[in-house]
Structure 1
Amino acid sequence: MALSKEYNERLAGEKEGLMYRDPVGELIREHEKKGGFDHLRGRGKPLPKEYLQSDTFDTLLKRNGFVPSWVRLQREIREDLGQVLKQQADEALSDRRIKKEISKINKKVRRYNQLCPTPSLQRCLIEKESLHSQYERWR
Protein backbone atom coordinates (compact mmCIF):
# COMPACT_ATOMS: atom_id res chain seq x y z
CA MET A 1 0.00 0.00 0.00
CA ALA A 2 1.40 3.39 -1.01
CA LEU A 3 1.27 6.30 1.37
CA SER A 4 -0.17 9.59 0.20
CA LYS A 5 2.20 12.40 -0.82
CA GLU A 6 0.71 14.67 1.87
CA TYR A 7 1.32 12.05 4.56
CA ASN A 8 4.94 11.60 3.44
CA GLU A 9 5.51 15.39 3.54
CA ARG A 10 4.00 15.60 7.01
CA LEU A 11 6.11 12.68 8.19
CA ALA A 12 9.25 14.34 6.78
CA GLY A 13 8.32 17.55 8.58
CA GLU A 14 7.94 15.70 11.88
CA LYS A 15 11.40 14.21 11.44
CA GLU A 16 12.77 17.76 11.09
CA GLY A 17 11.06 18.69 14.35
CA LEU A 18 8.08 20.41 12.73
CA MET A 19 4.78 19.42 14.27
CA TYR A 20 2.64 21.64 12.05
CA ARG A 21 2.74 22.92 8.49
CA ASP A 22 4.46 26.29 8.23
CA PRO A 23 4.02 27.63 4.68
CA VAL A 24 6.12 30.75 5.28
CA GLY A 25 8.90 28.74 6.89
CA GLU A 26 8.79 26.32 3.95
CA LEU A 27 9.17 29.20 1.49
CA ILE A 28 12.12 30.60 3.43
CA ARG A 29 13.86 27.20 3.61
CA GLU A 30 13.26 26.63 -0.12
CA HIS A 31 14.65 30.09 -0.98
CA GLU A 32 17.69 29.42 1.20
CA LYS A 33 18.34 26.04 -0.49
CA LYS A 34 18.27 27.75 -3.90
CA GLY A 35 20.87 30.28 -2.72
CA GLY A 36 18.43 33.18 -2.58
CA PHE A 37 20.12 34.69 0.48
CA ASP A 38 23.72 34.27 -0.74
CA HIS A 39 23.97 37.79 -2.17
CA LEU A 40 22.93 39.60 1.02
CA ARG A 41 25.34 42.17 2.43
CA GLY A 42 26.90 40.97 5.67
CA ARG A 43 26.34 37.28 4.92
CA GLY A 44 28.57 35.14 7.13
CA LYS A 45 29.56 38.07 9.33
CA PRO A 46 28.53 38.51 12.98
CA LEU A 47 25.57 40.74 13.77
CA PRO A 48 26.41 44.34 14.75
CA LYS A 49 26.68 44.91 18.52
CA GLU A 50 23.61 47.18 18.51
CA TYR A 51 21.44 44.17 17.63
CA LEU A 52 22.83 42.18 20.52
CA GLN A 53 22.80 44.90 23.19
CA SER A 54 19.16 45.92 23.10
CA ASP A 55 15.79 44.82 21.89
CA THR A 56 15.83 45.41 18.14
CA PHE A 57 12.06 45.84 18.06
CA ASP A 58 12.17 48.57 20.74
CA THR A 59 14.99 50.32 18.89
CA LEU A 60 13.02 50.22 15.65
CA LEU A 61 9.92 51.65 17.33
CA LYS A 62 11.86 54.48 18.98
CA ARG A 63 13.72 55.33 15.79
CA ASN A 64 10.38 55.70 14.00
CA GLY A 65 8.81 57.92 16.66
CA PHE A 66 6.45 55.41 18.26
CA VAL A 67 5.21 56.45 21.69
CA PRO A 68 2.99 54.15 23.80
CA SER A 69 -0.55 55.45 24.29
CA TRP A 70 -0.12 55.72 28.07
CA VAL A 71 2.95 57.97 27.59
CA ARG A 72 1.04 60.17 25.12
CA LEU A 73 -1.82 60.42 27.62
CA GLN A 74 0.65 61.32 30.38
CA ARG A 75 1.92 64.21 28.25
CA GLU A 76 -1.65 65.36 27.54
CA ILE A 77 -2.50 65.36 31.24
CA ARG A 78 0.64 67.34 32.04
CA GLU A 79 -0.21 69.92 29.36
CA ASP A 80 -3.84 70.16 30.50
CA LEU A 81 -2.77 70.69 34.11
CA GLY A 82 -0.34 73.38 33.04
CA GLN A 83 -3.07 75.19 31.11
CA VAL A 84 -5.50 75.06 34.02
CA LEU A 85 -2.82 76.42 36.37
CA LYS A 86 -1.98 79.22 33.94
CA GLN A 87 -5.63 80.16 33.48
CA GLN A 88 -6.19 79.97 37.22
CA ALA A 89 -3.24 82.32 37.80
CA ASP A 90 -4.58 84.71 35.13
CA GLU A 91 -8.00 84.45 36.79
CA ALA A 92 -9.41 83.50 33.39
CA LEU A 93 -11.45 80.62 34.84
CA SER A 94 -14.21 80.65 37.41
CA ASP A 95 -14.15 78.08 40.22
CA ARG A 96 -16.95 76.23 38.48
CA ARG A 97 -15.01 76.12 35.20
CA ILE A 98 -11.83 74.97 36.99
CA LYS A 99 -13.76 72.09 38.57
CA LYS A 100 -15.12 71.17 35.14
CA GLU A 101 -11.61 71.17 33.62
CA ILE A 102 -10.28 69.08 36.53
CA SER A 103 -13.12 66.62 35.96
CA LYS A 104 -12.04 66.26 32.30
CA ILE A 105 -8.44 65.75 33.38
CA ASN A 106 -9.49 63.13 35.94
CA LYS A 107 -11.17 61.13 33.15
CA LYS A 108 -7.80 61.07 31.43
CA VAL A 109 -6.07 60.12 34.70
CA ARG A 110 -8.43 57.15 35.09
CA ARG A 111 -7.70 56.07 31.52
CA TYR A 112 -3.96 56.55 32.11
CA ASN A 113 -4.14 54.35 35.22
CA GLN A 114 -5.77 51.61 33.15
CA LEU A 115 -3.14 51.81 30.39
CA CYS A 116 0.14 52.23 32.27
CA PRO A 117 2.10 48.97 32.44
CA THR A 118 2.67 48.79 36.18
CA PRO A 119 0.68 49.90 39.25
CA SER A 120 3.68 51.86 40.56
CA LEU A 121 3.17 54.33 37.68
CA GLN A 122 -0.48 54.99 38.49
CA ARG A 123 -1.45 58.45 39.72
CA CYS A 124 -4.03 59.93 42.09
CA LEU A 125 -6.94 61.93 40.82
CA ILE A 126 -6.46 65.69 40.63
CA GLU A 127 -7.99 67.93 43.30
CA LYS A 128 -8.42 71.69 43.05
CA GLU A 129 -6.85 72.27 46.46
CA SER A 130 -3.55 70.62 45.56
CA LEU A 131 -3.35 71.48 41.88
CA HIS A 132 0.18 72.94 42.06
CA SER A 133 1.76 70.02 43.91
CA GLN A 134 0.01 67.48 41.71
CA TYR A 135 1.23 69.29 38.60
CA GLU A 136 4.79 68.97 39.91
CA ARG A 137 4.32 65.20 40.27
CA TRP A 138 3.19 64.96 36.65
CA ARG A 139 6.29 66.78 35.40
Structure 2
Amino acid sequence: MELNEDKLNPPYQDWMGDILKEHAKTGGMDNLKGQGQPLSEEYFAGDTFQHFQRIAKDAGYKPHWLKLQHEIREEINIIADNQLNESTKDIEKKIKKVNKKIVTYNKSCPPPLQKGHVSLLNLAAMTKTW
Protein backbone atom coordinates (compact mmCIF):
# COMPACT_ATOMS: atom_id res chain seq x y z
CA MET A 1 0.00 0.00 0.00
CA GLU A 2 1.49 3.31 -1.06
CA LEU A 3 0.94 6.43 1.04
CA ASN A 4 -0.31 9.46 -0.73
CA GLU A 5 2.05 12.44 -0.36
CA ASP A 6 -0.92 14.85 0.00
CA LYS A 7 -2.22 13.01 3.07
CA LEU A 8 1.13 13.24 4.81
CA ASN A 9 1.56 16.95 4.05
CA PRO A 10 -1.85 18.58 4.07
CA PRO A 11 -2.02 22.06 2.53
CA TYR A 12 -0.94 24.79 4.91
CA GLN A 13 -2.70 28.14 4.89
CA ASP A 14 -0.65 31.04 6.26
CA TRP A 15 -3.44 33.51 7.08
CA MET A 16 -1.23 36.08 8.80
CA GLY A 17 1.35 35.87 6.04
CA ASP A 18 -1.37 36.47 3.45
CA ILE A 19 -2.71 39.45 5.40
CA LEU A 20 0.76 40.97 5.73
CA LYS A 21 1.51 40.45 2.02
CA GLU A 22 -1.77 42.13 1.05
CA HIS A 23 -1.08 44.99 3.47
CA ALA A 24 2.39 45.46 1.97
CA LYS A 25 0.93 45.49 -1.57
CA THR A 26 -1.39 48.36 -0.65
CA GLY A 27 1.49 50.39 0.82
CA GLY A 28 0.68 49.70 4.46
CA MET A 29 4.27 48.80 5.26
CA ASP A 30 5.78 51.98 3.81
CA ASN A 31 7.22 54.60 6.14
CA LEU A 32 7.11 52.49 9.30
CA LYS A 33 8.76 53.95 12.38
CA GLY A 34 12.32 52.64 12.65
CA GLN A 35 12.28 51.07 9.20
CA GLY A 36 15.79 50.22 8.05
CA GLN A 37 17.26 50.73 11.53
CA PRO A 38 18.96 47.87 13.37
CA LEU A 39 17.13 46.33 16.32
CA SER A 40 18.59 47.02 19.75
CA GLU A 41 20.26 44.17 21.62
CA GLU A 42 17.48 44.08 24.22
CA TYR A 43 15.05 42.77 21.59
CA PHE A 44 17.16 39.63 21.32
CA ALA A 45 17.29 38.99 25.08
CA GLY A 46 14.73 36.78 26.87
CA ASP A 47 12.26 34.28 25.54
CA THR A 48 9.70 34.77 22.77
CA PHE A 49 6.87 35.79 25.11
CA GLN A 50 9.03 38.41 26.84
CA HIS A 51 10.09 39.65 23.42
CA PHE A 52 6.45 39.97 22.35
CA GLN A 53 5.53 41.79 25.57
CA ARG A 54 8.38 44.28 25.14
CA ILE A 55 7.43 45.06 21.53
CA ALA A 56 3.74 45.31 22.41
CA LYS A 57 4.51 47.65 25.31
CA ASP A 58 6.69 49.83 23.06
CA ALA A 59 3.80 50.00 20.58
CA GLY A 60 1.37 51.13 23.30
CA TYR A 61 -0.61 47.87 23.42
CA LYS A 62 -2.41 46.99 26.65
CA PRO A 63 -3.67 43.45 27.23
CA HIS A 64 -7.42 42.97 27.63
CA TRP A 65 -7.11 42.02 31.28
CA LEU A 66 -5.27 45.24 32.09
CA LYS A 67 -7.99 47.36 30.49
CA LEU A 68 -10.55 45.33 32.41
CA GLN A 69 -8.63 45.91 35.65
CA HIS A 70 -8.88 49.68 35.15
CA GLU A 71 -12.63 49.43 34.41
CA ILE A 72 -13.23 47.33 37.54
CA ARG A 73 -11.21 49.71 39.72
CA GLU A 74 -13.19 52.69 38.41
CA GLU A 75 -16.56 50.97 38.93
CA ILE A 76 -15.69 49.87 42.47
CA ASN A 77 -14.64 53.42 43.36
CA ILE A 78 -17.89 54.82 41.91
CA ILE A 79 -19.96 52.29 43.88
CA ALA A 80 -18.08 53.12 47.10
CA ASP A 81 -18.46 56.88 46.54
CA ASN A 82 -22.21 56.57 45.92
CA GLN A 83 -22.86 53.98 48.63
CA LEU A 84 -24.61 56.41 50.98
CA ASN A 85 -26.81 57.92 48.24
CA GLU A 86 -28.21 54.68 46.78
CA SER A 87 -30.38 51.85 48.03
CA THR A 88 -28.80 48.58 49.06
CA LYS A 89 -30.64 46.82 46.23
CA ASP A 90 -29.14 49.14 43.58
CA ILE A 91 -25.66 48.75 45.05
CA GLU A 92 -26.00 44.96 45.06
CA LYS A 93 -26.97 45.03 41.36
CA LYS A 94 -23.86 47.07 40.56
CA ILE A 95 -21.68 44.79 42.67
CA LYS A 96 -23.08 41.76 40.83
CA LYS A 97 -22.17 43.39 37.50
CA VAL A 98 -18.63 44.14 38.74
CA ASN A 99 -18.23 40.57 40.01
CA LYS A 100 -19.02 39.26 36.51
CA LYS A 101 -16.20 41.43 35.20
CA ILE A 102 -13.92 40.13 37.96
CA VAL A 103 -14.60 36.55 36.83
CA THR A 104 -13.61 37.51 33.27
CA TYR A 105 -10.55 39.35 34.59
CA ASN A 106 -9.44 36.37 36.69
CA LYS A 107 -9.73 34.05 33.68
CA SER A 108 -7.44 36.20 31.53
CA CYS A 109 -4.87 37.76 33.89
CA PRO A 110 -1.70 36.09 35.23
CA PRO A 111 -2.55 33.92 38.28
CA PRO A 112 -0.64 36.05 40.84
CA LEU A 113 -2.79 39.06 39.88
CA GLN A 114 -6.17 37.39 40.38
CA LYS A 115 -8.46 39.04 42.91
CA GLY A 116 -11.53 38.11 44.94
CA HIS A 117 -15.13 39.17 44.54
CA VAL A 118 -16.67 42.35 45.91
CA SER A 119 -19.49 42.42 48.48
CA LEU A 120 -21.16 45.05 50.60
CA LEU A 121 -19.03 43.92 53.53
CA ASN A 122 -15.65 44.21 51.80
CA LEU A 123 -16.37 47.15 49.48
CA ALA A 124 -14.10 49.59 51.34
CA ALA A 125 -11.24 47.07 51.44
CA MET A 126 -11.65 46.27 47.73
CA THR A 127 -11.26 49.94 46.76
CA LYS A 128 -7.73 49.65 48.17
CA THR A 129 -7.08 46.21 46.64
CA TRP A 130 -8.05 47.27 43.13
Band of TM-score, shorter chain:
0.5 to 0.7
**Cross-structure match for 2:24:** none
Cα separation, partners in 2 of 1:84 and 1:41, compared to 1, 3 Å: closer
CA deviation after TM superposition for structure 1 residue 58, in Å: 2.2
**Cross-structure match for 1:98:** 91
* Distance (Å, rounded) in 2 between the aligned partners of 1:122 and 1:105: 14
Please show how residues 47-66 of structure 1 align to structure 2 within 5 Å.
48-53=40-45, 55-66=50-61
1:82 to 65, 77, 81: 77
CA deviation after TM superposition for structure 1 residue 41, in Å: 5.3
- Greater helix proportion: 1
**Cross-structure match for 1:107:** 100
What is the identity, as a one-letter code, of the residue corresponding to 1:102?
I
* Distance (Å, rounded) in 1 between the aligned partners of 2:113 and 2:55: 24
Q: Which has the larger radius of gyration?
A: 1
Unmatched tracts of structure 1, length 5 or more: 1-21, 25-39
Deviations 1:3-60 (A, max 9, x none): xxxxxxxxxxxxxxxxxxx9x9xxxxxxxxxxxxxxx956xx8x53232346443232
Identity %: 33
CA RMSD of aligned residues (A): 2.9
Aligned residues: 98
TM-score, normalised with respect to structure 1 = 0.59
Deviations 1:61-92 (A, max 9, x none): 1122211111111111100000001111xx32
Please show how residues 1-139 of structure 1 align to structure 2 within 5 Å.
48-53=40-45, 55-88=50-83, 91-118=84-111, 120-138=112-130
SS in 1 for 2:69: helix
What is the identity, as a one-letter code, of the residue corresponding to 1:131?
L
SS in 2 for 1:129: coil
TM-score, normalised with respect to structure 2 = 0.62
